[in-house]
Each structure stands twice: as structure tokens, then as C-alpha cells.
Amino acid sequence: MSTDLSVKNARLIKLQTVLDGFDGILSIAEIQRDIPFEVRRVYYIYNLIKHKDVMRGKHAHKKLEQMLFCVNGSCVIELDDGENKQEILLNSPNVGIYVGTKLWHTMKNFQNNCILLVLASDVYKESDYIRDYEEFVKYIKTHA
């Protein structure tokens, strides 16, 4: 199940979950069913309790697509497509957010020993990053 957001190139994805009796809950993410791209890189951000005001991200990608899951705790994902801005609270391990191309994103307000899992469509390439907001706005206007 996916839900559209007010920003372009983003949507919430709710993963299938299986309650396994007393043995916990299993959440399942399948490529092309739940994840709309082939995963080429996986990383996670954690140990953020020492700096409560930390902000991660603060960039956009030209071609990279990502899925973000808060597998523990919670955080706020701030999205900006150059026209619309929206904040999304991630606080359930089976609900993620698809962050598509040309979408400025910032992760903040990490709570309760947050662990943010990221699935990415490609390996790290610095040339794909737009790290200056004004450059992002110009890029959006010329690559609509």
C-alpha cells in the first residue's frame, strides 16, 4: 500500500507484516513490489542520542532513489520539491518513505535511539549530490 504526499517524487510505503505468534513481527520489503528500484546500496544511521539537534541529509540527488525506514525510534523527514515542503514523522518500522530524484531532504528530530535504514538505487557517487539549496532550486528549474 502506498500513499501519495504533497511533494513530488515521494510516497509512503507500508510493508507487509506477519505476526509470528510469540516470536515477534516480520516485515517484508520486496523489490519492484514495495521498493520501486533495484537496491545497490544499504546503510543505516544510528547513535544519534549524543546530539539531539543533529540534522542529516540537507541535499538532493539528481538520479539516486532511496527508501527510508526508521527501524527503531522515530525521526522527522523534511521534504522539499522546489515548490512544496512537507514534514513526515517516521515512527513505525514497517512504514517507509520513498525519496525520489530531485527532492531536497533533511532528517531531524531523532528520538528514542533512532535507527534509520536507507536502501539506495546506486552506489555512492558524489557527482549525483546537490548540496547547496540555491543550486538545487536552479537545477529543478532547468531539469523539470
Catalytic residue, chosen from 59, 61, 105, 143, is 59
What is the pTM (predicted TM-score) of this model? 0.90
Residue 60 pLDDT exceeds 90: yes
Residue 81 pLDDT exceeds 60: yes
Average pLDDT over residues 10-31: 90
Residue 1 pLDDT exceeds 60: no
Find the domain containing 96 and state its range: 2-142
**CATH for 30:** 2.60.120.10
Q: What percent of the chain has pLDDT over 90?
A: 80
Tens-digit pLDDT profile for residues 119-130: 999 999 999 999
Residue 51 pLDDT exceeds 50: yes
Closest CA to 96 of 8, 39, 27: 27
Q: How many domains does the chain have?
A: 1
Active site residue 59: yes
